[in-house]
């Protein structure tokens, strides 16, 4: 009985870590909402928003030749899973005065997936 319980817990831990990592392929679909303003991939150019290649691990407000709000430049944030999750839930809540006009993603699954997708977009 004890052994079964341990096996069950291990399986649970495995599935929840898979969830936390997100599904990049599903995230590509979520990114459709972002692509009105953001480009990724080879040859991506700044648009309404900055290029998002290499954004995971990048200090906020630092992509070359993009005019960020002063709120973003002064935020002192670095984009990782935790900060991206908060920003994408409500940009203006994490960075008051951010010029990203986006209502936010409510679904935790969509959030994890779009962040997994962003992780795959390496800096040029």
- Residue 116 binds ligand HEC, judged by CB under 6 A: no
CB of 30 to ligand HEC, least distance (A): 6
The burial class, CB within 10 Å (0-12 / 13-18 / 19+), for 11 is exposed
- Residue 94 binds ligand HEC, judged by CB under 6 A: no
- What residues contact 34, with CB distance under 8 A and at least 6 apart? 49, 52, 114
Between the two ends of the chain, the Cα-to-Cα distance in Å is 53
- Residue 111 binds ligand HEC, judged by CB under 6 A: no
55: its two tokens: 């954004």
Judged by CB under 6 A, the residue of 22, 34, 40, 113 near ligand HEC is 34
Q: Give 19 or 31: the residue with its C-beta nearer to ligand HEC.
A: 31
CB atoms within 10 A of CB 56: 20
- Residue 105 binds ligand HEC, judged by CB under 6 A: yes
Instruction: Give the residues lining the site for ligand HEC (CB under 6 A).
Output: 33-34, 36-38, 48-50, 52, 55, 60-61, 63, 68-69, 71-72, 79, 84, 88, 98-102, 105, 114
């Amino acid at each position: 009985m004890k052994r079964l319980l341990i096996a069950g817990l291990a399986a649970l831990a495995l599935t929840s870590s898979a969830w936390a990592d997100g599904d990049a392929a599903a995230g590509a679909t979520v990114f459709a909402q972002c692509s009105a303003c953001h480009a990724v991939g080879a040859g991506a150019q700044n648009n309404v928003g900055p290029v998002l290649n290499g954004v995971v691990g990048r200090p906020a407000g630092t992509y070359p030749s993009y005019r960020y709000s002063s709120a973003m430049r002064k935020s002192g944030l670095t984009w990782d899973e935790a900060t991206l999750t908060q920003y994408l839930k409500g940009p203006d809540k994490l960075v008051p005065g951010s010029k990203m006009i986006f209502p936010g993603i409510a679904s935790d699954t969509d959030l994890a997936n779009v962040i997994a997708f962003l992780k795959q977009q390496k800096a040029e």
